[in-house]
Chains A and B, each alone.
Chain A
Amino acid sequence: MPGRASDPGNSLVPFSPEVRDPVVYPIRHGIKTPLFRVFVSWSHGNLLNVACLQASPPESNAAAGTAESEVNIGGKVVEVRLGDGDGEINEAQRRRIAYGSVPAFAMLQSRRNSLSMMSRMASSSFRNEWWRHVLEYSNQIKDLLGTPRLPSSSVIEDPKMVLQQIEEPTSLKVAWELMEIFYVDKQSSAWLPERLVDWLADYDCILAKTEPAIYSKLVNLQKKIVNIQVIEDDPEYWDGISSALAVGWLDVVVKLLRLHGSYQLDQLGNRETENGLVEAVAVLVSTMPRMRADVPTGKLGQCYKTKPDFVKAWEKWRGHITKLECSAFWVQCGHRQTREGLRNLLQIMLGNIKNLTTSTCHWMELYISHFLFIRPFSMGLEGMYSLAQKCMQLKPSSNSSGLIGVFMGILGGNTEVVLAECSKAFGPWMVAHAMELLMATDDHADILLHEERYNLGGISMEELYRLIYAQVLSSHPLTWQIAPTYLASCSKQGLGLLEVLLYRQSAHNYRVTLKNLEICRLYELENISECIMKIAGVYYWKHGRRGSGIHWLQQAHDEVRLNRIAQQLFDCIGKSISDDSFKQWEGLVELLGSEVGTAGGLEFLHKYRDFKRSLHLVHDKKAVDAARQTVESLVQLMRSPSTPRRFWLPLLHDSVHLLNWQGRPLLNVSETTLLLSKLQELSMAKLHPDFSDFDLPPQALATVRLALAKNLRQAILEES
């Protein structure tokens, strides 16, 4: 049962009321059905994890006819990548395009920002400037999508090579070019028909893959002419010439005409008139007036940049054709095929619709031939649209590829249709990047794409399509790092999505963590940066890399966890006060530093560390200074309110040999009295149930008391 759409409610956009049936993709997981359960979870971007769990088969079935390995399988987990775009371009190429388009996109955005900053500038002057930047952007992207056609580089041309074999353009590039022609390049809008003629030259070889087209006709002819002796007798020769002429491939026409047998030296004498006619037509073809800025090297025709000049030349040229058409030489031309073939060419040049229709294969070719021979001037989109429909009626085509959809969308002047067709045929990359072209000169598209919509969660279509593309980038470990560039250009929800993306990256990999933090720094995402550091800190702490753990938690200013760690250390030291175990923790105490931590425990840990260190220095009886210093630390520790009572006795017991110091006493009277009073407090507390005296010998208290008493006696003697 297909899914049903919900109630449409109030439509904002008249387009796309129709809801297509969903595409159903079978998942090949290799598990026997029926399934017990299916679990899903979205991973990064458009990656969906799907777990298919098998229903437990009855025991009897399990044994029969099932391999042992299969019996033990309970399910499979499949990773599904959704919405990757068209299949024409492989993954590596797609990644190359994705990476390559980032600089162009980023540059355009930064230009837009700086221009709009300056222009509180009048919006009209912004528009006048803007399309040039978009054109530059468009050219950069176009270069990425495929190398431009270059004229033959060989010095000696093979006369029989009429059709240059070129690197086949992708339909992605052809679609891009189409949008550039219509939306961006203001300069050549007067020469639109001629730009479409050039465009068809690229598109025709793509068309030829699925449908009969002039390109394939010429490729076949090219293969044939090498082996034919009397070429002009072959109907395919004339057919090829007329087709090439119909779509304006004048160089091919002239090359083919010059292969005519009458040019051969031994024939020239007998077929003078015939040759004259062929040459006359060839000259007419090569001097055809064309309204365009220039003609690429190797291509033919005479350029006229302005309409009046062109019209004058056009009339004159047509006059020549009519004159030749009516000339008496045709009677003298004995070769029927040549006569008919050449007159057909003249009819094409005169714009005879019947001849044009016969010579073209696809409606698009017929359409382009209109611009060459019937109405070589720019006309409004409406006119172009109805002409396209007329051509479609004359030459119905079964195949309606995505490119045709884009083309008709453009002619129909419907931005949403163009975007929808782009999205359907070429995927999210195309839409995210082509929007810039659509908005370059078209105010309506600009408003439409920038309008914030409640239905989309308060964002514009521009932002939506960028978010969708960023999701696609996020799906792959090799491309997610360029997603931030696109997300940063989304003012409403871009950074929100970027935060989610960063939060979902693994904290287990040190390099990934650093990369994430770098991105956070770049886009000033402090919260998420702290969150990433916290995740890393806890991970390392729990996985035995305690130093790294503390480092990351400190970076994250995570006082709650750092205090907890200090507490843990504290408890740990409390449990076993032996020197060995302290060594183990000393480094961590060092790392924790003194800045972080409001817990009393941490302060104590630092003092305790200092005390232990200086205690080690008092290794012989002569180190009086060290001993004096250690005693000072001891007194400080005993005075400090942050020193827990349970440490008093171990501290004093550790220092017994200092209290029993030979020679001058290390503690004065008041210090000794302080320690004695603490000892007294301890004796009282010993009766308390939660009192713990660690692993000290039972006589520890007595030993300390005796040592203090001795010290007090000496101190009194000394001071009196």
Chain B
Amino acid sequence: MERVVATLEKGAQCCGWSHGGRRLAVGHADGAVSVHDSSDPSTRASARWMAHTCGVINVVWIPPEFGDAIACVCADGALSLWDEIGQDAQAVTWKMCKFFEGTGSQVLDVQFGVSLTTLRMVAAYSDGHVKVYESMDPLELNKWQLQAEFQNVIDSVSRFGKPSCVSASIAWSPCRGENQQSSFVLGYNSDLSQFNSPKIWEFEEAHQRWVPVAELALPGDKGDRVHAVAWALNIGRPYEVVAVATCKGIAIWHVGLNPESDGRLSTEKVALLAGHDGEVWQLDWDMSGMTLASTGADGMVRLWQSNLNGVWHEQAALECNGVQH
């Protein structure tokens, strides 16, 4: 059922798979990044370079329409973008095409989305600010323009204190339709409750601004620290499905496709899945958007599905923390 496909070097501390899942980028504690292409565990990484002077805490692949490129988030809050280029298939190198310095606040998470033909990058900062950048060049990733900056709060008028955020989690809506609005969901793990609850932000073309169109938390749970979010692919459902992991478990939300009269999207929490003993680390939906995989501090990978009656349950679990021989 399982086979080992890669062996990682000592110091590996984060992983990111390319869109089709064939390439793996690994960030190391010493600031190095390696890329693995082979499925033979005895072969070495196909590329390895020093991306930063301190540890890489997150690697994210950029959508394939923009080449084979990754973003590296560094422990000191800096962010760098790397592009694979070559004169021919053999002489391939990874070139840094953009560096965002961690000035003041740190980048906690970064995710890329494509809207029409433009590549957009959302970066969540440790001070609760969200920055949306737009790539100015469809071929090179070296020119970026700050398109918007806002706080992850519904009420933009009130003044809040400055939160201290431990982590952030962003997921773009995976729709790729030409007319689809560009939107993403973002939740924080911070000490200020207003910032935590996951909000769906949508770009309003008419006013050229980002507006929160839904909040994925029940009134009593809005302050819950968010550990992970994942937006399921929608291959034809009449609603979107978003998973949100907080300390209370993994909530499955149904989100309406079209805004209601007040401009907000309808939301319904259809399940709260408790299973992980400890913090949830990561969520990932499969390609049909029907199975959710979660990992957590209990060393388990849990697979969740809805049955024919719409009841969500744990279908299977993979134990990674067991006794190894």
Known contacts A39-B282, A76-B4; decide if A565 and B319 are in contact (CB<8 Å): no
Q: Which B residues are within 8 Å of any A CB, using their own CB?
A: 1-17, 19-22, 24, 26, 28-29, 36, 39, 41, 64-68, 83-89, 91-92, 117, 137-139, 176, 178, 233-239, 252, 270-275, 277, 281-282, 284-291, 293-296, 299, 301-304, 306-325
Residue of B nearest to A31 (CB): B324
Complex-state Cα separation, A29 to B233, whole angstroms? 29
Q: Are B313 and A539 in contact (CB under 8 A)?
A: no
Given contacts A22-B317, A45-B287, A561-B138, contact A542 B235 (CB under 8 A): no
Whether B20 lies near A504 (C-beta < 8 A) is yes
In the complex, A560→B116 CA distance in Å?
A: 11
Given A12, A44, A78, which contacts B3 in the complex, CB threshold below 8 Å? A78
Docked complex Cα distance between A499 and B234 (Å) = 11
Closest A residue by C-beta to B17: A41
B87 contact from A74, A496, A544, Cβ within 8 A: A544
* Apart from A26-B318, A27-B2, 7 more pairs, CB < 8 Å: A23-B317, A49-B17, A71-B10, A538-B139, A542-B68, A542-B85, A543-B88
Q: How far is the CA of A515 from the CA of B82 in the complex (A)?
A: 30
Task: Assess the A34–B15 pair: CB atoms within 8 A.
Answer: no
Once A544-B86, A544-B91 are accepted as A-B contacts, the answer to whether A79 and B316 lie under 8 Å apart by CB is no
Residues of A with C-beta under 8 A to B282: 38-40
Measured between beta carbons, the chain B residues less than 8 angstroms from A493 are 235-237, 288
**Residue contact A4 to B275, C-beta cutoff 8 Å:** yes
- In contact, A34 and B299 (Cβ under 8 angstroms): yes
> Given the complex of chains A and B, what is the CA–CA distance between A628 and B285 in angstroms?
68
Q: Which 10 A-B pairs have the closest CB atoms?
A: A3-B314, A496-B235, A43-B21, A6-B271, A455-B310, A3-B275, A457-B237, A493-B236, A75-B8, A41-B17
Q: Number of A residues contacting the other chain (C-beta, 8 Å)? A: 105
Q: Min CB distance, A73 to chain B, in Å?
A: 6
Contact B299–A38 (Cβ < 8 Å):
yes
Complex formed: what's the CA distance from A505 to B7 in Å? 24
Residue A353 interfacial (CB < 8 Å): no
> For the complex, what is the distance from the CA of A25 to the CA of B20, rounded to whole Å?
25
A51–B296 Cα distance when bound, in Å, is: 13
Q: How far is the CB of A532 from chain B (nearest CB, A)?
A: 9
Q: Closest CB of chain A to B175's CB: distance in Å? A: 10
Q: A51-77 interface mask toward B, CB cutoff 8 Å, 1 = contact, 0 = none?
A: 111101000000000000001111111
- A194 and B301 alpha carbons, distance in the complex (Å): 50
Tell me whether B65 and A44 are in contact (CB under 8 A): no
Report the separation of the CA atoms of residues A44 and B19 in the bound assembly, to the nearest whole angstrom.
10
When the two chains form their complex, are residues A467 and B309 in contact, meaning their CB atoms are under 8 A apart?
Answer: no
Chain A residues in 8 Å Cβ range of B233: 500
CB contacts (< 8 Å) of B88 on chain A: these are 543-545
CB-based contact A16/B307 at 8 Å: yes
Most chain A CB within 10 A, of B19, B282, B304, B314, is at B314
One of A80-88, A301-309, A657-665 contacting the partner: A80-88
Query: For residue B311, which residues in chain A have a CB less than 8 angstroms away from its CB?
Result: 5-9, 19
Contact of B308 among A16, A31, A34, A542 (CB under 8 A): A16
**Is A47 an interface position by the 8 A CB rule?**
yes
Please tell me if the beta carbons of A49 and B24 are within 8 angstroms of each other in the complex. Answer: yes
Within 8 A of B (CB), among A342-357: none
Indicate if A507 sits at the interface (CB-CB under 8 A). yes
Set of chain A residues within 8 Å of B304, measured between Cβ atoms: 3
Q: Is the CB of B4 within 8 A of A77?
A: yes
Decide if A1 touches B277 in the complex (CB within 8 Å).
Answer: yes
Q: For B138, what are the chain A residues with a Cβ–Cβ distance below 8 Å?
A: 560-561, 564
Tell yes or no: A366 within 8 A of B by CB. no
For the complex, give the distance between the alpha carbons of A419 and B35 in Å.
43
A–B Cβ pairs within 8 angstroms, 9 of them:
A22-B316, A38-B296, A42-B285, A43-B20, A47-B21, A77-B6, A506-B20, A531-B176, A543-B88
> B1, A80: Cβ atoms under 8 Å?
yes
Q: List the B side residues contacting A42 at CB < 8 Å.
A: 21, 284-287, 291, 293
* Minimum Cβ distance to chain A for residue B315 (Å): 6
Whether the pair A77, B8 counts as a contact (CB closer than 8 A) is yes
| In the complex, chain A residues whose CB is within 8 Å of the CB of B64 | 507, 535, 538-539
